[in-house]
Structure 1
Amino acid sequence: MNASRVASTLMALLSFGALDCAAQSSASHGGAWTVTLENDAPTGSDNNYTNGMGVTWVSRATDTYDERSFVRRWGEAASFLPFVGNDGYRTYVAWSLAQEMHTPDDIKAANPPGDDQPYAGVVYLDNVVYARGERSMHAWQLRVGMVGPSSRADRVQTWWHKAIDADKPMGWDTQLPNEPILNVGYTGAYLLAQGKLGKSASWRVFPVVNAGLGNYFTGAGLGMYGEVGWNLVDAPGGTALRQGFNAASTVGVGPVDRWSVSLSGGVAGYGVAHYLPLDGTVFRHSRSVDSEPFIGMATLGVTARHRDFVFFVGRTFFTKTFETQRQRAEFGTFSLSWYL
C-alpha cells in the first residue's frame, strides 16, 4: 500500500518565501502539466502499492485569468474555504487524473491468502484548490473516483506484465468490488526556517500537516520536510510528501532561466482510521486486512529544473502498514513537468 496513499502520502507540498528565486512571473505561462509514474520495480518487489500513474494540470494564479473563464470562476467559487481569497494569499487550482494498482505479495496465486493485501484497482479525479501566502500554503482537495473492475487496473497490469515478460497477475478476480470514491482533504505547510549556504546554495525546512475524510482515506498526518540545493526556486521540489499526483512543485512558480537542482527529504507519521486498499470497501462486502493505526513514512528525492521543465526522481519507504504484511511497502517516483 503505497500508503503513498496511506494518507495518500503527505499532500500537496507547498511553497514558501523567497530564497534565491530564479522563477519568472507565474502569469507568464499558461499553466503546467505533470506526468507521474510510481512503481515498486526499483525496489525489486511487486506487491502492496505496486503502480500508480497520472497526469496533472496546475493553473497560474486564478486572478490572472479573464473574469469569465472557468478557472477564475472555479477559484472564486472556492472562496468559502479558509484562507482561499484572503488578503495575503493567491489562489491556484489543479486537476489530476490517476490510476493505482495494489496487489498481494504473490501475484501468481489465483486465490491469494486472506491475510494479505487485497487486489485493488483505483481510478480517480482530484481537484485541489491552493491558497498560497508568503510563508505558508493551504491545499483543499476533493477526490471522486471508483475502486474495482471499473478502474481497468487489472487489464493494464496484465497487459504491461505481458509486454515486459513478467509474471502474470493471476488473482485480479478477487479484487475489491466496484464502489464510488468520495474523499475530501486538507494540507497545510509553513516555512519554519531557511538559510544560505554560500552564494547560490540554500536550504529550507517546514512542517506539513494533513487530514482526510471519506471512503478512500480517513485519518491525519504530521511530517517535516526539508530541501537543500542550488538556485532554489520559490516552490518545493519534486512530488515528495504530497497527496496523489498534485504537482505542487509548479504552484505559483513559472519557468526558470538557469539550472536549479535540489535534494529533498522528509519523514511523516499517520494516524489511520480507514484506508480503502487495505480495509476494503465501505458499502459492499470485500476482502480486507486491518490497516495499522499508526504508520511511518520517509522519502528522498532529487529535483532538476531548467527553463520550461521540472524533473524529479525519488524513493518512498513505509513502516509496516498491516500486521501480516510480508514485505514493507516502498516505491520509486518519476515525474516530468512542463510549462505551456
Structure 2
Amino acid sequence: MLELDDAERLPRSGRPSLVCIVSAAAVFSLALGLSAPGEAQVLLPAEDQGSIVTVRVENDVTGSTDEYYSSGVALGWTGPTGAVPGFIARAGHALLGDGDQRVSIDLSQQIYTPSDTQINPPDPNDRPYAATLLLTGQLIQDTLLTRTRLGAQVGVLGPDAGGEIVQNGFHTIIGDEKNQGWDDQLDNRPVLNFFADRTWRLPLLSLASLPALNTAPMAVDVLPDVTGFVGTEQIYAQAGGTLRIGQGLEDDFGAGRITPGTDGGDAYLPDAGFAWYVFGGVDGRAVAYNTLLEGNSFADGPSVDKMPFVGEFVLGLAMIWHGVRMTFSQTWQTHEFTSQQGGLFDFGSVAVSARF
C-alpha cells in the first residue's frame, strides 16, 4: 500500500500517473460520503496562487421566444488557495477535514417568463414573470479527488431585481418586441439561501500521450455530484453525474452553472499547454418548495403547481488555453410545473474565465 502523509501534496506533473491509485481511493470516498476529519489520508492538488474572474451567460436563445428560464448572467471572482478568512478556514477544516481552500463571490441575475410574453395579463396557468438578483459567497475546498462547496446567497426577488428593465431594455436595443406581462410579476421579497455541494472525481481510463506533443494523456472520468439547497427561494435535493473525455481533466471539476443544476464551480488550475474535454451529464432534483413557481407566500398573486421531480440532461465542451477557460453547454430540462406545455425545455450556457 502507498504510504503518504495525512495531507500530501502532489505536483501537477505527477497526477496523471496516479489514475489507478486515485480511482480506488475515489470509490471509498464516494462510499463514505463527507469523511470526518482525520479518518482518511488526503491527497491534495497543487497550490494555486492565481485569482480567477468569470463571466457567464445562460439564455434560451435556441428557442423562438423568451420562455421559462429566459436569461441568466453572472460575474464572479474566485480567490487563490489559502486566501481565506481564518474563522471560515477553521470551520471548513473542522467540517470537511484537509483540503485546499478558496473563497468565491459572484453577482447573478436570473429572469423567468411565461411562454406567451405578448399577452397582458399573462396566462394564469403559465409560469409567472419573476427575476432574482443574488450575491453568492462560498467556500470551495478541494482534494485531488473531491470538491466541496459550502455557500450562502442573499438578494432580492421581484421588481427590484431589475428583470423587466434588463429584458425589455435589451429588446429595445435589438429591435425586438417588449414582453407585455411584467406588471404581474412576483412581488418584492428578500432572498436568503444556503447550499452544500460535493463532487467526486473518479478516473476511469488514461491513455499514453505522444511525447513529441508534450500534452497530458487522453483520459476518461466521471464526476458524481450531490447538492442540498435550503432557502426562501427554493428547497431541493439534487444528485447527478458527468462523464468527461479529454486532456487535462485534473485541472477542474467540470463546467460551472448558475444554480440550480450540476455546478463544477469556477475554480480551475492553470495548464501549461492546452487542456480540453467534452462532457455529458444528467441530474435530478427532488423539489420541496419553489417560490418562483408557487408565487407569493403570504399574498395572492400568480402561481402554478410545481413538479416534485425535475430532470436535466447536458452536453458541452470545455477548454483551457494559456490560463483562460471557456465552456459551452446545452441543457435539456423536463417540466418544472404541471401545466407546462411542449416537450423538453432547453437553454445554452457560455462562460469565459481568466486568471491574474
By the TM > 0.5 criterion, same fold? yes
> Against the structure 1 CA distance between its residues 250 and 96, is the aligned structure 2 distance closer, same or farther, given a 3 Å change threshold?
closer
Counterpart of 1:236 in structure 2 is 253
Counterpart of 1:205 in structure 2 is 222
What does 1:65-84 align with in structure 2 at a 5 Å threshold? Answer: 65=83, 71-73=84-86, 75-76=88-89, 78-79=91-92, 82-83=95-96
DSSP-derived class of the 2:273 partner: strand
- Residues 52-81 of structure 1: CA distance to partner in whole angstroms, max 9, x if unpaired? 00101111112xx4xxxxx43363364376
Q: State the shift of 1:329 in Å.
A: 2.5
> Against the structure 1 CA distance between its residues 130 and 284, is the aligned structure 2 distance closer, same or farther, given a 3 Å change threshold?
farther
DSSP-derived class of the 1:124 partner: strand
> Is 2:173 aligned against 1:153?
no
Choose which of 184, 188, 191 in structure 2 pairs with 1:181.
191
Q: Which whole-Å CA distance do the structure 1 matches of 2:138 and 2:53 have between them?
A: 14
What does 1:105-144 align with in structure 2 at a 5 Å threshold? Answer: 105-144=115-154
Q: State the shift of 1:278 in Å.
A: 1.0
Q: Which whole-Å CA distance do the structure 1 matches of 2:16 and 2:63 have between them?
A: 34
Select the structure with the greater relative contact order (CA < 8 A; seq sep ≥ 6). 1
Gaps of 5+ in 1: 1-16, 66-70
> Against the structure 1 CA distance between its residues 81 and 288, is the aligned structure 2 distance closer, same or farther, given a 3 Å change threshold?
farther
Equivalences, count: 309
Q: State the shift of 1:191 in Å.
A: 2.2
Q: Which amino acid counterpart does residue 170 of structure 1 have in structure 2?
A: Q
Q: State the shift of 1:290 in Å.
A: 1.2
DSSP-derived class of the 2:62 partner: helix
Choose which of 292, 305, 308 in structure 2 pairs with 1:277.
292
Counterpart of 1:296 in structure 2 is 311
Q: Which whole-Å CA distance do the structure 1 matches of 2:298 and 2:320 have between them?
A: 44
Do the aligned partners of 1:20 and 1:231 also contact (CA within 8 Å) in 2? no
> Is 2:350 aligned against 1:334?
yes
Q: Which whole-Å CA distance do the structure 2 matches of 1:74 and 1:248 have between them?
A: 25
Q: State the shift of 1:27 in Å.
A: 3.2
Q: Which whole-Å CA distance do the structure 2 matches of 1:139 and 1:56 have between them?
A: 15
Choose which of 250, 255, 259 in structure 1 pairs with 2:274.
259
> Is 2:64 aligned against 1:44?
yes
Computing the radius of gyration from Cα coordinates, the structure with the larger value is: 2
Q: Which whole-Å CA distance do the structure 1 matches of 2:94 and 2:331 have between them?
A: 31
Q: Which amino acid counterpart does residue 110 of structure 2 have in structure 1?
A: E
Do the aligned partners of 1:239 and 1:245 also contact (CA within 8 Å) in 2? no
Q: State the shift of 1:261 in Å.
A: 1.3
- Residues 129-159 of structure 1: CA distance to partner in whole angstroms, max 9, x if unpaired? 1221221121112011100110011101011
Do the aligned partners of 1:28 and 1:254 also contact (CA within 8 Å) in 2? no
Do the aligned partners of 1:39 and 1:332 also contact (CA within 8 Å) in 2? yes
DSSP-derived class of the 1:225 partner: strand
Q: Which whole-Å CA distance do the structure 2 matches of 1:26 and 1:170 have between them?
A: 51
Q: Which whole-Å CA distance do the structure 2 matches of 1:138 and 1:215 have between them?
A: 23
Do the aligned partners of 2:199 and 2:253 also contact (CA within 8 Å) in 1? no
Counterpart of 2:48 in structure 1 is 27
Q: Which whole-Å CA distance do the structure 1 matches of 2:261 and 2:81 have between them?
A: 19
> Against the structure 1 CA distance between its residues 81 and 172, is the aligned structure 2 distance closer, same or farther, given a 3 Å change threshold?
farther
Do the aligned partners of 2:147 and 2:253 also contact (CA within 8 Å) in 1? no
Q: Which whole-Å CA distance do the structure 2 matches of 1:230 and 1:190 have between them?
A: 18
> Against the structure 1 CA distance between its residues 257 and 244, is the aligned structure 2 distance closer, same or farther, given a 3 Å change threshold?
farther
> Against the structure 1 CA distance between its residues 119 and 249, is the aligned structure 2 distance closer, same or farther, given a 3 Å change threshold?
closer
Q: Which whole-Å CA distance do the structure 2 matches of 1:152 and 1:229 have between them?
A: 40
Q: What percent of counterpart residues are identical?
A: 26
Do the aligned partners of 1:291 and 1:322 also contact (CA within 8 Å) in 2? yes
Gaps of 5+ in 2: 1-13, 19-44, 210-216
> Is 2:329 aligned against 1:308?
no
Q: Output the TM-score relative to the length of structure 2.
A: 0.81
